[in-house]
Every structure is written in structure tokens, then in C-alpha cells.
Structure 1
Amino acid sequence: MSKEIQQIISFLHSITSNRLESYFNGKSFSFPDFKLSGDLPISNFLKHYKLSKAEVVLFASSIVPHILPGFFDKIIEKYLPNGGEFPEFGGVKLDQHRGMIPTGETVLFLLAGTDIQLRLSFIALFDSSNPLFKHNILLLTSVKSGEPKLSGKLQLDPEYVEVFTTGKISLPSLSINFPAEHLQTEMTWEDLVLPDQVWNQIKDLQIWLKHKETLLSDFDLGRKVKPGYRALFYGPPGTGKTLTATLLGKYTNKEVFRIDLSMIVSKYIGETEKNLSTLFDKAENKDWILFFDEADAIFGKRTGVRDAHDKYANQEVSYLLQRIESYNGLVILASNFRNNIDTAFIRRFNSIIYFPPPKAEERRLIWEKTLPQQFTLENEHLLKELAERYELTGSHILNIIQYITLASLEKNSIMLSKELLLKSIKREMEKEGK
């Protein structure tokens, strides 16, 4: 990692020195050679986006303040030992960071000096068509009305800063700024009991996650189909929707985030869209799986416009539809009822999967897979009897077994009686008023 950083900084140092020699001393400007090889983050990044030399200068300028705060200041000092204004170079100072932060003007000067025609040819570098800006890797901060756009600070996404400087990336935590919880599990596919038709549909999602890059690029479908995949999981609570989403991530090496809709939906006009925008901008191009649990809260049916509130509520749904369709990863919406979801979303789903309540045989399997091996049943047919008699979901059964395990530990007994199991089932059903 350190060798890559050194090469990037050395390249930028040569570019900057050559440009200043040309500007102050009239020497001809030349681009130094630059090439990275290997299988490290920066090398892989440059190869993946096929960056030109000009784009490498752009990238290098954005990362150098995070490594050498006074990088540009020290080079300029050689040519302006007594200080003074140097507006052609651009750059700004911040409150706490004591070095110069490059702006778009800084990069333009390094690439073109004061050659007007050359500068005009490089302005397109800052356009949204540039993948570095298109994918929110780089940002030119907004400026005050009337000020040149390129006077905005050049910023590298903090997560890219982290991965390029440390070789790893910390996942964001649930917060006001990132209203999503990272989902993980120690469970496996073997712990999940579902009907065959559901398994077949889940396999379709795994196939897409595995082959999506080949599908979009090698088979040239990227121009014709939406970049991501949208799935609806619906069915009663406790039937495995959240666990399925989590296991999809676990077995395809994708991070899964459950969106906390209570932190996204706001009564203030425009705030919901802003919160959603922050979330999707953060997730873009990370290959994360986004899981919207109880999605009815925001993906529900749009209403007729009776007042301003209805108008803005419908705008929120429309905005969300737009962001989901442009997201290039897997988005899963979960709901108890399919009919609760707006029809505009329904027709845009690539997959709609119904998670039914488990049948008797499936309930027996859930009991057997969930019950710790340490227990002994007073009757070997007890689990089958319970499965046939009580229509419980997987989450019900897990809650019941947790309760009986604690009760058995307290009694110091591993013998499970029918009486204790029935008491536990009754307790669980009473929680739901049954």
C-alpha cells in the first residue's frame, strides 16, 4: 500500500513542479511517465475505471491532502519564497486543516497552465460523465451564487480515502446520517426452512448477484436494462424474510443493510427525499444489498391529491421509485401483504417472492433444527404433535425455545415435558392476543 501511495505522490510532485517551472521560468511542460501494477487497491481502482493521465492527476490531487497536508504549499514556496497571491493555482484553506486544499482550478492549472484552449479542453474532466464524479467518488463542493464552479473544493469520498490509505474500509454504523443497520448472522441456509418454490426463487437472486457484471458488460445488456435488481418479499411476520436477505449477503459476500424507515420519513417537506438521497449516495457502487423492512411505510399506495400533504407524500414515493431503479445493486422490499405496495413498484420488481406460513411438516423441521441437542424429550413424537397442532412461524418457535431453555437452565433439567412446551406456546400466543 505504501509503495502505491509513494508512486502517486511522486507523480503528482513531478506534475506540479513541471507546471510551476513552466509558469515561472518558461520551461516546456511535460507529463512524467506513470504506471502502477499489482493487485492492490489503487492499482485495481485505476484499472477498473481505466483512468487517463489527466484523471490520475485529478485523483492524486484529491488524496494528497489526507497524507501530506502541506504538499502543495511546500512546492509553491520554492517559487514564491516571500508568499503572495497565486490565484492561477486555485486552492483554499480550511478552519482546522492548515495546508492547501486543491480546487477544480488547481487541477486545471496543473493540466493546462494558462493555455486557454487547453484549459477549455480539460473542463469536461469535471463533468458528471466522468466516472469519478458520476459514481460519487469525487465531489466538487458547491460554491456561492456567481462564483466559478471550479473554485469548489475537490473532495474524495471518505470511504475511498480509508481503503486507499489503510487497505480496508469500516462499514458505516446506524446513525442520523446513515439510517441503516448492518445485518449479520451465524445461521446458515440449512437453518432456514422454506417451501421448494421459494428456494427456487431465492436461487434466482443468487444467480443474479453472481453474474450481474457479466450480464451487463460482456453481454451488452447494460444499455438496455436497469442496472440493479429489485425484489419483493411478502408474507406474515416471522416467515424468514429478514434472514433470507441476510443469508443472501453472507453467501455472496455482500454487505446487507436494513433501512430504518422511522429515521428516513420526515414530516418536513423535502426532508424524506434528502434522507433517501444520502442513503443511496452512500450505498452507490458499494455492491450492498439494501433491505427495506415493513416497506409499506413509504412504498405504500399513492393517494389522490386532496391537499398539499398528499401531493408531497406522492412526490416522496415517486422520488424513491426513481432512486431504486437507478441503484446498481440488489434492493429488497419486505411487506406483510403484497397489496399494500403501490402498483407502480409492483410492475418494476424483477422478482416477487411469497413467504407463506410454514405447514405442519415444515414446522416440525423448524422445531428439530432449532431445539438444542442437549435436550431430551419425554415423548419422541412430541415435536410432531406440536407441529401439527399449533400454526407457529419460525420466529415464534425460536422465541419459545429460548424461553424453555432459560426455564430448563433455572431448573437444572434437560428433560423437556409436554407441560413446559404447552406453557411456552401459550405464553408466545398470548403476546399476540391469540
Structure 2
Amino acid sequence: MDFDNKLAENAPSQENRINLNAKSLALEIGWFASVVNARLRNCFGNENNGLSTDFVVKDNGTYITPEEIPAPDFSDDHSVYAEFVSYYKLSREERLLLMLTIIPHVQPHLLDVFFSLNKSISRGYTEFGGIRGSRHSGFIPTGETALFLLAGNDLARRFNAYKLFEPDHIFTAHNIISIDGSQNGEPFYSSTISLSTEYVDFFTTGNLRKPPFSMEFPARRLVTRMDWEDLVVDDFTSMQLDELRIWLQHGRTLYEDWGMSRTLKPGYKALFHGPPGTGKTLTAALLGKLYNLDVYRIDLSMVVSKYIGETEKNLEKVFSRAENKNWILFFDEADALFGKRTSISDAHDKYANQEIAYLLQRLEDYPGLVILASNMRNNVDEAFVRRLQSIIHFQKPQPRERLRLWSGAFSKQCQPPVRESIERLSQQYELSGGAIMNVVQFASLMALNRNDNTITMEDLLQGIRKEFMKEGKTM
């Protein structure tokens, strides 16, 4: 179980979370400040070189070392931060690194000491690292800042601290702390380090904010007011969806408790295919609602780019944000991304196929549910199809399903036609669920325009005629 899932299961009230978090962070920040002061004294000796700090002194008059300052005991603390420290059994060094990334969000002035001027060269101290942000006027820490705090000038300690930035460390693997290593040609640890937005929320308010739709997160949350019982599909599709529901309910037990993570790839991938209006998007939203999971529909218009490498970068923003969140990712009109590969005839085809290779790897690595939706199953590349656990066909509803759709479509405030008339509509006119709802909306508006609550067959037939015209059909 990931920490954010554990947190959701044991969440106290909002006010209690905030008070507990504030108390714990105040203790940890006090400890952090003492360690910083001791590190500065330890490195710079009796000459403070313009540094303005309060140093810690022992009873015998000698200065205390950073390693001698004990971390707060959180064994009886039930704040989110304390629970996090306990859950991951964080070491002293890990807690200091975590505090270094939290402080810019809660008490940024505490890092101003790292702006101190080195009088001998009339600029800041190189060993402090850090940068000044474009909007944030305070000190933004880098990897060098963390290494100075943890090791000072001790090379052995410094090299040992490198493990905190390894890809398999809990901070990186779970996207808790990230280091921006994109500075070409510059030392890796001169890159900024930052705490993920989710964990800033966890450690302060205890709530997780939903990511806003933007270029940095090109996906919108799918929600619905309908319930699973409102979904109308044929019996075979319903049976296939039951398998998907069972995975959402028991997949974690299968991997963790049964030990199948050794032989099974993480996550579950499904293809929903069928004509428009048959319930593919609604099903994705209902699955999330059924198991209290967030569902995000990726906006392909903001993801797919004609520029080489940009599509992968845009997708990575979604996948990296979704990692370890147990989100359901929904790719509507997935043909744009997961379509058939071409034979390589020019450089553009070569890079397009590399893009698909990236997608294949990202799909395999994602531990949650990914749903691809397409109007045509044959439009999806076979390389993706081989990695799917389910291929579910949403066919146009038959008379029995159409009768259920018609029967549940009308408002309780109106008077629909008698059941026999609805049954005739179900038998005579082949419409998708989405088209039926369009017809009911049209007929309801016509009734309201007459200041009437009676839906007439004439209104419904006129609405059906409109839907057929949209599809190029005649009644």
C-alpha cells in the first residue's frame, strides 16, 4: 500500500490535520535550523565570514556537531508528516533533505542565511548552491545545498549522500522529491530540488489538490452524476467489464499478497472500441466513481505535437504526475497516439515509430488502469493490442438495451409517451445511447417551449429525424 492510500484510509478531520501538521513541522523545522547552524559553525570555524546565525554550544563551551543534534521523536505523533516518516522509516539524512524541500513552501525566510556573502570574493558561497527564482524571492535549494547540509566538506559523507538522489530511492521512485538534471554540461547537483505539489499539500493541509488542466498537465478529470446501475450495455460487454471491476477491487491483493508482481506486469490496460455514443467515456467515469478513483481524460490536442520529441514530453507530464496515484488514465480517440506504425520512408516516420516505442514502454510501466478508446479496433497498432488485458466492444444497443435507455432517459418532472409507444421506438429505430439522449433533450425542450410537461411522439420522431440526418440517414 502506498502512503497516500494509507492516508486516505485513516484521515482525521480537516482542522485536526492542519493543527497536527503545523505542530510536527514546527518541531522538525526547529531541528533543521539547529542542524544548519551547527553545519555552518562546523565548516567555518570561529570566523563567521558575515554569516548571521545562532550557533549551538555545549555545556563545556565547545560547539556541537550537526550529527549530535537528535531528530524529534514522532513515535506518538499522528500528523501526516509524522506518519510519513514512520511509514517509510526515514533516516536522519532523509528527513533533513525532506525539510530542505518543504521549507521554501512554509517558512522560506529560514533559508535566507544561504544568501550570505563571501567577503573574500564578494559573492555567495559556492558550497551553498541554490538559486533565486524568477518569482520567488527566497532561496531555492539545489542538490549542492543538500550535500552541504548533510556532509559539509566531508567527501566520504558527501559520496554516501548521493544515494538519496538515485532513481530507485523512495523519494525519486515515488515522485516525492525531484531534481531537475537538465542543465547541459553543468554539474548534476547544481540542479534544483523540489517537493512534489501533492506532498506539499499532504504535509500542510493534509488534503490533495486536484491538478488543474494546463499545458503542464494536459488532462481533464472525468466525473459523472450517473451510477453503475445506469450503464446500459449488452450482456457480453457487461461480463467483460466485470473482469475490469474485479481487477480494480483485487488487483493490489493479487500483486502484493499473492506475490504475482514477480511474474505479472504492473497495471491493467484495456481497449474500449465501438461507435460513438455507446458508453465508452461514461464507463471510464463510472469505474472511477465506483471505486473512488480519479479518472483523467488526456487531451490529445495538447499532447500530440508535430515537433520531434514534444509528444513524449507532453505525455511524460501526465504519466509522471499520475505515478503512484492510482489514477485511471483515459485516452479518448486513441488512434491519434496508438495508431498503426508506418514503414520507415523518411526521418519523420522514424521518429513517429520511436514515439510509439516510448508509449509502449510507458504503458507497460504504469501501475494503474489505462483505457484506450477508439471507434475502430483495427486502427490500434498490434504492438499495443498485445499488451492489453481486455479488448471490450461497445456495440450499438439492440432493442432490449434501447428500451432500457429510453425508459430511463426522461425527467421525473415530465410525462413521457406510454410504454407501448416507447417499445415501438426501441424496435424501429437503431440509435446509440448518446443519440437517444439527444432526442430526449430535443423533445423535452419542445415541451418546455409549449409550457407543457407532456413529451409527445411527434417531438420524439422529429428528434430522431434530426439524429438520422446527422448520420446521413433517412427515416
TM range (shorter): over 0.9
Q: How many Å separate the matches in 2 of 1:273 and 1:378?
A: 52
Q: After the TM superposition, which residues 72-111 of structure 1 pair with which residues of structure 2 at under 5 Å, given as runs?
A: 72-74=111-113, 85-111=124-150
Moved more, 337-346 or 167-176: 167-176
- Which of these residues, 361, 368, 393, is aligned with residue 354 of structure 1? 393
Amino acid across the alignment from 1:66 = H
Q: How many Å separate the matches in 1 of 2:296 and 2:413?
A: 34
- Which of these residues, 30, 41, 61, is aligned with residue 10 of structure 1? 30
**CA contact 1:370–1:401 (8 Å) conserved in 2:** yes
Distance 1:58-1:392 versus aligned 2 partners, 3 A rule: same
Distance 1:48-1:380 versus aligned 2 partners, 3 A rule: same
Deviation at 1:430, TM superposition (A): 0.9
Q: Structure 1, residues 73-111: CA drift from partner, whole Å, max 9, x if none?
A: 34897x99xx97533333333344333222212222222
Moved more, 325-334 or 306-315: 306-315
The aligned residue for residue 170 of structure 1 is 209
Deviation at 1:247, TM superposition (A): 0.6
Q: Structure 1, residues 387-421: CA drift from partner, whole Å, max 9, x if none?
A: 01111111011111011110001112223332222
**CA contact 2:328–2:368 (8 Å) conserved in 1:** yes
The aligned residue for residue 68 of structure 1 is 107
Deviation at 1:210, TM superposition (A): 2.5
**CA contact 2:443–2:456 (8 Å) conserved in 1:** no
Q: How many Å separate the matches in 1 of 2:217 and 2:430?
A: 38
Q: How many Å separate the matches in 2 of 1:48 and 1:213?
A: 18
The aligned residue for residue 60 of structure 2 is none
**CA contact 2:114–2:128 (8 Å) conserved in 1:** no
Amino acid across the alignment from 1:273 = E
Q: How many Å separate the matches in 1 of 2:270 and 2:340?
A: 17
SS of the equivalent of 2:312 reads helix
The aligned residue for residue 244 of structure 1 is 283
Amino acid across the alignment from 1:12 = F
Identity among equivalent positions (%) equals 47
Deviation at 1:316, TM superposition (A): 1.5
The aligned residue for residue 329 of structure 1 is 368
Q: How many Å separate the matches in 1 of 2:326 and 2:271?
A: 18
Deviation at 1:377, TM superposition (A): 4.2
Deviation at 1:146, TM superposition (A): 4.0
Distance 1:224-1:51 versus aligned 2 partners, 3 A rule: farther
Deviation at 1:148, TM superposition (A): 2.2
**CA contact 1:233–1:332 (8 Å) conserved in 2:** yes
- Which of these residues, 36, 46, 68, is aligned with residue 30 of structure 1? 68
- Which of these residues, 427, 430, 433, is aligned with residue 469 of structure 2? 430
Moved more, 13-22 or 409-418: 13-22
Q: How many Å separate the matches in 2 of 1:272 and 1:145?
A: 21
1:364 paired to 2:384: no
TM-score (norm 2): 0.85
Moved more, 42-51 or 247-256: 42-51
Q: How many Å separate the matches in 1 of 2:189 and 2:213?
A: 34
SS of the equivalent of 1:376 reads coil
Amino acid across the alignment from 1:32 = P
The aligned residue for residue 417 of structure 1 is 456
Distance 1:98-1:124 versus aligned 2 partners, 3 A rule: same
Moved more, 335-344 or 303-312: 303-312
In structure 2, stretches of 5+ residues that fail to align are 1-20, 46-62
- Which of these residues, 336, 349, 370, is aligned with residue 310 of structure 1? 349
Moved more, 284-293 or 132-141: 132-141
Q: How many Å separate the matches in 1 of 2:419 and 2:238?
A: 29
The aligned residue for residue 397 of structure 1 is 436
SS of the equivalent of 2:139 reads coil
The aligned residue for residue 16 of structure 2 is none
In structure 1, stretches of 5+ residues that fail to align are none
1:258 paired to 2:258: no
Q: How many Å separate the matches in 1 of 2:64 and 2:467?
A: 82
Q: How many Å separate the matches in 2 of 1:224 and 1:50?
A: 28
1:125 paired to 2:143: no
Amino acid across the alignment from 1:23 = C
- Which of these residues, 308, 313, 330, is aligned with residue 291 of structure 1? 330
TM-score (norm 1): 0.92
The aligned residue for residue 191 of structure 2 is 152
Amino acid across the alignment from 2:373 = A
SS of the equivalent of 2:262 reads coil
Q: How many Å separate the matches in 2 of 1:272 and 1:143?
A: 18
Q: Structure 1, residues 101-143: CA drift from partner, whole Å, max 9, x if none?
A: 2221222222222222222222122111212112322122236
Q: How many Å separate the matches in 1 of 2:111 and 2:257?
A: 42
Q: How many Å separate the matches in 1 of 2:80 and 2:253?
A: 21
Coordinate RMSD, CA, aligned: 2.4
Distance 1:411-1:45 versus aligned 2 partners, 3 A rule: same
Moved more, 330-339 or 368-377: 368-377
